[in-house]
Structure 1
Amino acid sequence: MEGAKMEDARVEECEHDNSNTQEDAQVEESEQNNKDMEVAPALISVHPTRSSVAVAVGSDLRVFSLLDNCAVTLVDDSGGASHNDSIRCIKYGTNGKLFVSAGDDKLVKVWSTDCWRCISTVISEKRVSAVAISNDDLHVCFADKFGVVWVVDLPGFGGTEAPLNKKAAPLLAHYCSIITSLEFSPDGRFIVSADRDFKIRVTMFPTKPLDGAHEIQSFCLGHTEFVSCLAFICAPDSPQGLLVSGGGDSTVRMWDVISGTLLDTCEVGAKVEQVESDATEGKCSTVTDICTIPDCTLIAVAIQSLRGIMLLTCDLPSRTLSVTKVVSIIGENFVPTSLGSSISGGLLWMVTGASNLPCSDVSSLSRVKVISGCASEQEPVVLADTEIPGGAKLLEKLQGSMSIDEKVFLAAADAVKTAMCNLLIKKQYSDEKREFRKRTRNDKKGTQ
């Protein structure tokens, strides 16, 4: 009798182990499938004086020189491709001498724009989600998926000789929340970081950043969903500027960074429903990017379901935001994934596209559009391809293939929308799945 009980117990234990093994295999397969299905949106960044334009799609970094009217060849002495996984963030420095690219390969690459040579490669411990360059070009900051902002110094940068690869030091942290955007204030005093837990943190940038940033100026709290993007508006009476933010709650908000006070909220989602005839009523329209237009108080806003961009006006005396105009891309499924502008030229650059598209023969695609007249009293106009600076040569470099079906771009827009939700909306796990994720975590630090 006792032997029969022991046998039953062994059978039950074996069945339990088999059940756990099967569940672990299913979880592992699901995790791998999610990794395989990750879609990286196309990104665009414009040199402050419009001497060049950069587009990143997947692991491909494409740069076109508007001064020389030719494609740029990137020089990376590390050997091989510049990046070997999806690039998630690109940015020019304030004066345009530096350019930074980073992403899922845990590499942060600093480029000199004079010769487009990689002058420093920093290895991150985790995948990188945001980057920023200090106004004096002496420090590069980057954020990872675990909510830590790191800083690396570039002393004596001259643009010709590469400094030794640096080891990054922790600057600040958001306690295990994905950081979605990093920006320095116009006066360089503050570094602002936003995360998927609805928070915006304003931190005093220290004189010795490698020792960490310990003084928090304020928190800007008010978003009801993840914060996706940040930008600053220059104001004559505020050297630090006014902060604007967009997020998953279909709003653009304006803040006083000194006090953290919410100055105004613009409900852009409701306006999209009026413009887009096929938009579902009440559907949340995530703000995917914000770009301030230099020399004016206009703000360009990219929204997931909008075929074009929305222009907002900031009234500086009253500290309010209002919708000025929606500039639609007629006859095309062009939903911008990233925006860029320069100090000169009065042009707004847009890109749409993605990489790692599921169920597609195209590994990566991008399309570039430009809007003129944003900074003047003229009506904003979407330029024809032949009117874009650089013309066909620029489009050939930044877009790659020119003959991709419109349906593919529409599918790309849907894939990017799904990918952003998967990335920024918090996932809920069962106890078994959570334990499996703990057992299979790969937190080994890369050799620096």
Structure 2
Amino acid sequence: MESEPKKETEVAPALIAVHPDQSSVAVAVAVGPHLRVFDLAAGSAASLIDDSDAVPFHKDNIRAVRFAANGKLFVSAGDDKTVKVWSTQSWRCITTVSSEKRVTAVAISNDGTFVCFADKFGLVWVVDLDPPLLDKKPAPLLSHYCSIITSLEFSPDGRFILSADRDFKIRVTNFPNKPLNGAHQIQSFCLGHTEFVSCLAFVKSSQECPQGLLVSGSGDSTVRLWDITSGALLDTCEVAIKAGLLESNGKAEEHGHAVTDLWTVRDGLLVAVAIQSLHGIVLLNCNVSSQTLSVAKVVSVAGEAFVPTCLGSSSSTGNLWMVTGVSSLPGSNNPSLARVRVISGIDGKQESVVLEDESIPGGKKLLETLQGTASVDDNAFLAAAEAVKAAMYNLLIKKQYPSENREYRKKSRNDRKLKS
């Protein structure tokens, strides 16, 4: 009997999300299926409530976490094909939405009335948050057709929803007044990356440019600046070369220095960049008037095997939060790992410094909540960084199958099964 080769356990990177007003509410970390939230105002772990009695709240790896722009909602989603919407006032799950496929990215409309999520088949779905919230059904919004969507973002003015995929594309779509009927008008495509697009972020809008400028990171080790109304590429910064990870001729381990996350601070005039293999971050200056990107500095986490997998910040502080870790590490005594670090002075008011644990907002209580109490050596985190790198490669680099495997996959397709 034919059988497909056994798949390895999928590894998911640790994720972090920071409430827009960091001083008042929460920092959330997702490791595997576990969601950990610390309430900075109360100085203690938040007690999450899910009436579905799911423990943990997700049954498989969490792939996306997001706070709403106004901080009232928090969304988590992932491989268990569920999207959970939480109230940040009570930390109660107010609705759970089922997806047909595993979820890869989420976004919340600027007014907090719609949640959008993307699945591994390349579809983007939308859910309205009007009462009643029980048994909400998602409606199809748009499609990339069989290309894994890696990131979703709303433009600062709320006019557009942007979707990026593993086939190097960024699609800019007009977000309609009635999104439950679908989004049919494409504004532009931003084309220029030569590998999968991994992350998107916006430079804050101005009167001259209310929709903002877009920055994107990719598996091609670059960060690019775009005008989304026309799709024009404005500038490219080869961040891996600037950080000393690649030679100028680009010779290095293939796909070893993908940009894994971006976060804009100082109203988007500064862009923090996380890169595979970099023990720290790269800070880029974004000059809106000249529409250019340039390296401001590299902030290293000295003396520690810390390669960030996700970044987060709030508009009210000068702190950049970073997390590294994985959902599972085969052969390790620590099945799931997480380590949280904070860089202060990211807003430019003082020198950027990696804070010691006792100086992090929330202190040891926060760290115990978000990363656990077990001590983990640096070798485990180095192995975790390699596991995340391999997982991203396996997920986002298109696989080439031998002919016999291709025939098996064709026969086992669900649509073929239904016909037979």
TM-score with structure 1 setting the length:
0.89
Residue 175 of structure 1: SS of its match in structure 2? Answer: coil
1:426-437 to structure 2, matched below 5 A, reads 426-437=398-409
Alignment partner of 1:249 is 2:223: no
Counterpart of 1:9 in structure 2 is none
Which residue pairs with 2:11 in the alignment?
A: 39
| Distance in 1, Cα, partners of 2:315 & 2:177 | 28
| 1:69 counterpart (43, 46, 59) | 43
Q: Which residue of the partner structure matches residue 380 of structure 1?
A: 352
Q: Determine if contact 2:156/2:205 at 8 Å carries over to the other structure.
A: no
Could you say what secondary structure the match of 2:210 adopts?
A: strand
Call closer, same or farther: CA 1:103–1:443 in 2, change over 3 Å: farther
Write the distance in 2 (CA, Å) between the matches of 1:289 and 1:75: 29
Q: CA deviation at 1:337?
A: 0.2
Equivalent pair of 1:273/1:280 in contact (CA under 8 Å): no
Matches within 5 A, 1:190-269: 190-236=160-206, 237-269=208-240
Relative distance call for 1:270 and 1:282 in structure 2 (3 A) is: farther
Alignment of 1:49-128 (within 5 A): 49-50=21-22, 51-81=25-55, 82-128=57-103
Change (3 A) 1:386 1:176: same
Distance change >3 Å, CA 138–CA 235, structure 1 → 2: closer
Distance apart, 1:441 and its partner CA: 4.0
Q: Residues 192 and 200 of structure 1 are in contact (CA less than 8 Å); yes or no, is this contact kept in structure 2?
A: yes
Query: Aligned partners of 1:224, 1:355: CA distance in 2, in Å?
Result: 29
Of 303, 315, 320, which residue of structure 1 is paired with 2:287? 315
Structure 1 residue 281: deviation in Å?
A: 4.2
Partner of 1:148: 123
Residue 405 to residue 65, structure 1, CA distance change in 2 (3 Å): same
Q: 1:275 to 1:426 in 2, by over 3 A?
A: closer
Alpha-carbon distance in 1 for matches of 2:330, 2:366: 27
Q: CA deviation at 1:255?
A: 0.4
Which residue does 1:188 correspond to in 2?
A: 158
Q: 1:304, 1:139 → 2: CA distance?
A: 33
Query: Deviation of residue 200 (structure 1)?
Result: 0.1
The alignment partner of 1:213 has SS state of coil
Say yes or no: does 1:271 pair with 2:246: no
RMSD: 1.7
Provide the rounded CA distance (Å) in 2 between the counterparts of 1:432 and 1:282.
29
* Alignment check: 8 A CA contact 1:40 1:354 kept: yes
Match of 2:139 in 1: 169
Provide the secondary structure at the position in 2 that maps to 1:378. Answer: coil
How far residue 280 of structure 1 moved from its aligned partner, in angstroms, is: 7.5
1:323-351, CA deviations, whole angstroms, 9 ceiling, x for partnerless residues?
Answer: 00000000000000000010101110000
Whole-angstrom CA distance in 1 between matches of 2:60 and 2:414: 17
Q: Secondary structure at the match of 1:389?
A: coil
2:240–2:246 contact (8 Å) kept in structure 1: no
Give, in whole Å, the separation in 2 of the partners of 1:390 and 1:438. Answer: 52
* Paired amino acid for 1:262: L
Choose which of 97, 102, 105 in structure 2 pairs with 1:130.
105
Match of 1:6 in 2: none
> Per the alignment, in what secondary structure is the counterpart of residue 68 of structure 1?
coil
Aligned to 1:3: none
**1:363 aligned to 335, 359, 365, which one?**
335
Aligned-pair distance for 1:271?
1.8
Gaps of 5+ in 1: 1-20, 157-161
The 8 Å contact of residues 246 and 252 in structure 2, kept in 1 or not, is answered as no
Shift of 1:274: 5.6
Distance 1:346 1:295 in 2: 11
Question: Is contact 2:268-2:286 (8 Å) kept?
Answer: no
Name the structure 2 match of 1:159. Answer: none
**Counterpart contact for 1:296–1:375, Cα < 8 Å:** no
C-alpha offsets along residues 27-82 of structure 1, whole Å, 9 cap, x if unaligned? Answer: x2x2x333x2x111000000001121000000000000011111011100011221
Whole-angstrom CA distance in 2 between matches of 1:173 and 1:412: 33
Hey, what's the Cα distance between the residues in 1 that align with 2:135 and 2:85?
A: 10
Residues 209-218 or 432-441, more deviating: 432-441
Number of paired residues? Answer: 409
Q: Is the 8 A contact 1:60 1:83 kept in 2?
A: yes
CA distance 1:99–1:218, shift in 2 (3 Å):
same
When residues 440 and 401 of structure 1 are mapped into structure 2, their CA distance, relative to the original with a 3 A threshold, is farther
The equivalent of 1:421 in structure 2 is 393
8 Å CA contact retained: 2:319, 2:346: yes
Structure (1 or 2) with the greater helix fraction = 1
Tell me the residue number matched to 1:328. 300
The Cα of 1:431 is off from its aligned counterpart by 3.0
Structure of higher CA gyration radius = 1
- Judge which range, 101-110 or 372-381, deviates more: 372-381
SS in 2 for 1:240: coil
Letter in 1 for 2:386: D
Name 1:398's counterpart in structure 2: 370
